[in-house]
Amino acid sequence: MTPLSATDRTRLGRLPERSSDDRSVLYSILDDGMICHLGVIVDGAPRVLPTGYGRSGDTLYLHGSTGARSLMTAPSQEICVTVTHLDGLVIARSLFHHSINYRSAVIYGTPRLTTGDEKLAGLRAIVDRLAPGQWDVARQPTRKELAATTVLALSLDEASVKTRQGPPGDDEEDYALDVWAGVVPVSQTFGTPSPDPLLHTGVPVPPHIAARGTETAPTS
Amino acid sequence: MTPLSATDRTRLGRLPERSSDDRSVLYSILDDGMICHLGVIVDGAPRVLPTGYGRSGDTLYLHGSTGARSLMTAPSQEICVTVTHLDGLVIARSLFHHSINYRSAVIYGTPRLTTGDEKLAGLRAIVDRLAPGQWDVARQPTRKELAATTVLALSLDEASVKTRQGPPGDDEEDYALDVWAGVVPVSQTFGTPSPDPLLHTGVPVPPHIAARGTETAPTS
């Protein structure tokens, strides 16, 4: 497995001990997430929008309506995709050392439009991220639906990973204070699936959906 | 209360029924969140980074180390701040209509550096977002710590809000399919506070921290 890139912008300037150049850490952050934040430049200003994504090997897939301005303009320019998991609130003895425990991945690149089989595979990667198992049971996309959907492919060549875990790091002299310090864990959970009021009577919750109610959700 | 702005970029091009120009909806999205995604332009390319934030009235506060490049460059340029809550996975009868239930706020503007009392108030707003109650019990920032911290103020003048809630919206003919459809709720929860291994014996978890283990966390 090749390590992560080390371009100037993916090499952390601050707190480099929080970075990782292990590609498997990048994969696990991406594969634990459900939404990313996509950064594009529109009329000279940054724009950040939440959106779904999927990963297949070293390619990230993003989709959008062909009518969505941010994705329409994206293929011609560099974008940035960030996935963040909030894992805990770090409560320190001093206000200055309060922090969060998190895992984040930042990917830079110029995406390309997909077509044909890759477009379909990209859509499947996106659906698998949100609802694994659904691709095989739901109605497949029509030609018209595919035409209305843009699927972009972004290489994972240029990416950085940053994480913080563990207890607070207070200043030496503050450990003498009688102030509680520690971590409040944060996690995302799935609730009980709620059927569409228009669902036919007797259609059961399929196992791959029911299972979600019992697992801990990814944290993005 | 004044409604939200309606500049070209905050007026939704697609699915305008998902927007809201009610300022109280903006406030509740911001006040339910713990981290935002900050978009800046660095060397001509977008960069999206997760960071803490706070709100006081119609001002959003962001902080960072004076050594952090993205915030250092930000005061001279427009930024975009996005807060997203993932509320549910929308499982439809057709792959095309799979979606997510979410609430998101996107804020545009050119931030300004804060100083003096406003800087302190901005820091307090940020701490209050992550750990309400901590400002009054933890060691206050020193002069040196304050000097090492940049606090930016961003007006909430130009903002847009977008939400999706409720069951899937399938195509008319797909309602006849025997495919399960509905929503899998997603929420973020706090776990049991975990004390710092270096904590003095006998320092109890304070009520404002203990309370978090029993509440549903904001979803960002």
B162-207 tens-digit pLDDT: 999 999 999 999 999 999 999 999 999 999 999 999 998 889 999 9
CA distance B5 to A215: 41
> What local confidence, expressed as pLDDT, does residue B145 receive?
95
The pair of three-digit structure tokens given for residue A52, joined into one six-digit string = 């779904």
> What local confidence, expressed as pLDDT, does residue B76 receive?
73
Q: Contacts of residue B205 in chain A, CB cutoff 8 Å?
A: 180, 182
> What local confidence, expressed as pLDDT, does residue A220 receive?
47
Query: In the predicted model, what is the mean pLDDT of residues A85-96?
Result: 97
> What local confidence, expressed as pLDDT, does residue B214 receive?
63
Q: Is A82:A62 a contact under the CB 8 Å cutoff?
A: no
A-to-B residue pairs, Cβ atoms closer than 8 angstroms: 309
All residues at 6 or more sequence positions from A219 whose CB lies less than 8 Å from its CB, including other chains: A32, A33, A85, A86, A87, A186, A187, A188, B188
Given pLDDT bands bounded at 50, 70 and 90, which one contains residue B220? very low
Q: Is A126:A119 a contact under the CB 8 Å cutoff?
A: no
Q: What is the mean pLDDT of chain A?
A: 89
Query: In the predicted model, what is the mean pLDDT of residues B85-99?
Result: 97
Contact A183 B168 (CB under 8 A): no
The pair of three-digit structure tokens given for residue B151, joined into one six-digit string = 């606090």
Higher pLDDT, B13 or A117: A117
> What local confidence, expressed as pLDDT, does residue B13 receive?
61
In degrees, rounded to 5, the angle at the alpha carbon of residue A99 between the alpha carbons of residues A176 and A214 is 115
- Examine the pLDDT at A10 and tell me if it is beyond 80: no
Across the interface, of B35, B185, B186, the residue whose CB is closest to A86 is B35
Q: Is B135:A168 a contact under the CB 8 Å cutoff?
A: no
CA distance A99 to A15: 13
Ordered DSSP codes for B90-123: EE-SBGGG-EEEEEEEEEEE--EE--HHHHHHHH
Which residue is listed with tokens 């991406």?
A: A30
State what percent of residues in chain A have pLDDT above 70: 86
Comparing alpha-carbon positions, the chain A residue that sits nearest to B88 is: A190
Nearest C-alpha of chain A: how many angstroms from B57?
Answer: 22
**Residue B159: Cβ within 10 Å count:** 24
Partnered with residue A172 across adjacent β-strands are: none
- Examine the pLDDT at A13 and tell me if it is beyond 70: no
Q: In chain A, what are the domains?
A: 16-87+100-166 (2.30.110.10)
In degrees, rounded to 5, the angle at the alpha carbon of residue A163 between the alpha carbons of residues A162 and A164 is 140
The pair of three-digit structure tokens given for residue A188, joined into one six-digit string = 């995302």
CA distance B47 to A160: 12
Q: Contacts of residue A217 in chain B, CB cutoff 8 Å?
A: 186
User: What are the tens digits of pLDDT across the range A23-68?
Assistant: 999 999 999 999 999 999 998 999 999 999 999 999 999 998 776 6
User: What are the tens digits of pLDDT across the range A201-217?
Assistant: 889 999 999 888 666 55
> What local confidence, expressed as pLDDT, does residue B65 receive?
76
- φ and ψ at residue A210, rounded to 5 degrees: -60, -35
CA distance A35 to A179: 36
Given pLDDT bands bounded at 50, 70 and 90, which one contains residue A1? low
Contact B82 A49 (CB under 8 A): yes
In degrees, rounded to 5, the angle at the alpha carbon of residue B47 between the alpha carbons of residues B120 and B130 is 35
Query: In the predicted model, what is the mean pLDDT of residues B69-91?
Result: 85
Q: Contacts of residue A34 in chain B, CB cutoff 8 Å?
A: 86, 89, 100, 186
The pair of three-digit structure tokens given for residue B175, joined into one six-digit string = 């309602």
Contact B141 A192 (CB under 8 A): no
Given pLDDT bands bounded at 50, 70 and 90, which one contains residue A191? very high
Contact B198 A175 (CB under 8 A): yes
